Amino acid sequence: MRTLLLGLAAGLALATAASAEVLDSQPTGFEVGHVIEIAAPAAKVWAALGQVGAWWDSGHSFSGDAKNLTLELKPGGCWCEALPGGGDVRHMSVVFVDPGKTLVLEGALGPLQSTGAMGHMTWKVHDTGASTTLTVKYDVGGYIVGGIDKWATPVDTVITAQAERLKHYAETGKPQ
């Protein structure tokens, strides 16, 4: 948890106008979104999305090792993490799948899990012929002391970094 909080703080410190895509921010909620062009076929991007343990940053995990993350691309599927010593974390649950095109997850990531926040994250994969357009949106609402809007920029920074890591993995087959 400490690693996750430090990672969010570091992400906030490194945020730039170019990477910040906070689409809306209110005391009761926020929306962040990104559109990224990936030089890989849509089927490869979709497959990479399901291999979250290969591209997610270990610094943004509870266990400190992204290889402990799994994502089941089916309704009711779990974005889960195995913890050392036998514990587990359910980061998000899959609520909608249009295979190869759209994945919708429900839950609160990282330190948001211990608050009154809840979110929906949508990943859309669109084949443009020469490349793939990946659209990621994360809508978060609920209660956090002082207003949830203060989390918009740090969360955006983390989601931006993870989407870039997915891009790198889909294009090269290697973790960043």
Q: Where residue 82 falls among pLDDT bands split at 50, 70, 90?
A: very high
Is-contact 48 69, C-beta < 8 A?
A: no
From CA 90, how far away is CA 73, in angstroms rounded? 14
Predicted confidence (pLDDT) at residue 3 exceeds the cutoff of 60:
no
- Residue whose C-alpha is closest to residue 161's, from 84, 66, 88, 94: 66
pLDDT digits (tens, 9 = 90+) for 111-163: 999 999 999 999 999 999 989 999 999 999 999 999 999 999 999 999 999 99
CATH number of domain containing 137: 3.30.530.20
Q: Where residue 5 falls among pLDDT bands split at 50, 70, 90?
A: very low
Domain that holds residue 110: 2-172
* Number of domains composing the chain: 1
Q: Where residue 11 falls among pLDDT bands split at 50, 70, 90?
A: very low
What are the residues facing 118 on neighbouring strands? 141
Q: How many CA atoms are closer than 13 Å to the CA of 141, on its beta-carbon side?
A: 4
Enter the DSSP assignment of 5. Answer: H
Is-contact 136 126, C-beta < 8 A?
A: no
pLDDT digits (tens, 9 = 90+) for 23-80: 999 999 999 999 999 999 999 999 999 999 999 999 999 999 999 999 999 999 999 9
